[in-house]
Amino acid sequence: MKIIVCIKQVPGTNEVKTDPVTNTIIRENIPAILNPFDAYAIEEAVRIKERRGAFIYGISMGIPAAREVLREALALGIDKGILMTDKRFAGADTLATAYTLSKGIERIGDFDLIICGRQATDGDTAQVGPSLARTLNIACATDISRIIEIKDKEMRCLKITDDGYEEILIKLPALITVVKEINMPRLPSIKSMKLARRAEIDIVGFDDIMTDENRTGLKGSPTRVRKVFVPVQQVETSMIEGTLEEKAQKLSELLLSVGMEVK
Ligand SMILES: Cc1cc2nc3c(=O)[nH]c(=O)nc-3n(C[C@H](O)[C@H](O)[C@H](O)COP(=O)(O)OP(=O)(O)OC[C@H]3O[C@@H](n4cnc5c(N)ncnc54)[C@H](O)[C@@H]3O)c2cc1C
């Protein structure tokens, strides 16, 4: 079985700066971490490998420093790390990210399953997984909280919904996105971390995928983030004075004035 895990490097800090012209995140020189949801995706792939055997590719599109999250994934049990990095991939929105990743995946060849995290903690859109499945024209199931059974040509999973859970059957090859309820990611051993340090990561640039420059990076991104800001929370406090009855009366008037029901 061939499994591909999509792994994103995200800022490990809230002190994120954005480019004033493009409104994209400035990713250079800030602490970066493995996207927390992708740790669950890696763990689930490794558990499938342990149960029935598999070769796991980890693929990431990002700056050269994103090599580090692939090393972390190697230490956790994936078999091969692929980093898609090129100036012509920079500033991508979800559409361009999904397209670029699809080209990297086509380069790998046939596969059975792609696992993504539910969402990335920076862009936070949860769009890349479904968009990637659409681009590759394969089945997609989001918010998977348990893989019940996986066979050569199909898998049964539990999907979290607003009302509870749905049990679904998916034909392979397919893409799933996973939520944190799916497992408890393991910690890497010292030995596996040392081996991962020395492992070779495949670097894939624009010329390796030979694709349309109008579909990658900022040029291939129809989304424009117009403004990025931290919302200001305004909290007003008013003190209610008087006797107990007066306070209760004023409080009920106040609550009614903001549309709340008073019984
Ligand atoms: C504040 C802010 C708002 C933004 N808003 C939008 C927006 O509304 N629309 C838009 O199109 N873009 C937006 N972007 C750009 C966004 O950063 C990129 O589109 C990003 O490459 C992917 O989207 P995401 O982070 O939302 O990933 P998600 O869709 O949340 O990620 C889901 C999963 O996809 C996989 N994945 C995602 N990116 C990669 C990658 N580079 N390499 C490997 N696997 C990956 C991971 O498994 C991840 O867990 C925004 C960026 C910022 C900073």
Q: How far apart are CA 88 and CA 208, in angstroms?
A: 12
* Per-position b or e across 14-39, b if 16+ CB within 10 A of its CB: eeeeeeeeeebbebeeeebbbbbbbb
Q: Residue 175 is encoded by which pair of tokens?
A: 């893409």
Asked whether 62 and 32 are in contact (CB, 8 A), the reply is no
Q: What is the pLDDT of residues 106-161, one digit of tens each?
A: 999 999 999 999 999 988 899 999 999 999 999 999 999 999 999 999 999 999 99
Q: How far apart are CA 167 and CA 146, in angstroms?
A: 9
Percentage of residues in the chain having pLDDT higher than 90? 80
The one-letter code for the residue type at 99 is: Y
Q: What is the pLDDT of residues 168-216, one digit of tens each?
A: 999 999 999 999 999 999 999 999 999 999 999 999 999 999 889 999 9
Closest CA relative to residue 94, chosen from 224, 7, 9, 221: 221
**Residues in the ligand 1 pocket, defined by CB under 6 Å:** 6-8, 25, 35, 37-38, 41, 60-62, 92-94, 97, 101, 116-117, 119-120, 122-129, 223, 225, 228
Per-domain residue ranges for the chain? 2-220
Write the residue with the smallest CA distance to atom 2 of ligand 1.
123
pLDDT for the residue numbered 246:
94
Q: How far is the CA of 120 from the centre of ligand 1 (A)?
A: 6
* Per-position b or e across 43-55, b if 16+ CB within 10 A of its CB: bbbbbbbeeeebe
Q: How far is the CA of 96 from the centre of ligand 1 (A)?
A: 10
For residue 49, give the 3-state DSSP assignment. Answer: helix
pLDDT for the residue numbered 140:
98
Q: How far is the CA of 177 from the centre of ligand 1 (A)?
A: 14
Chain centroid to Cα 96, Å, comes to 15
Query: Global pTM?
Result: 0.86
pLDDT for the residue numbered 67:
96
Asked whether 251 and 243 are in contact (CB, 8 A), the reply is no
For the domain spanning 2-220, the CATH number is 3.40.50.620
Q: How far is the CA of 256 from the centre of ligand 1 (A)?
A: 42
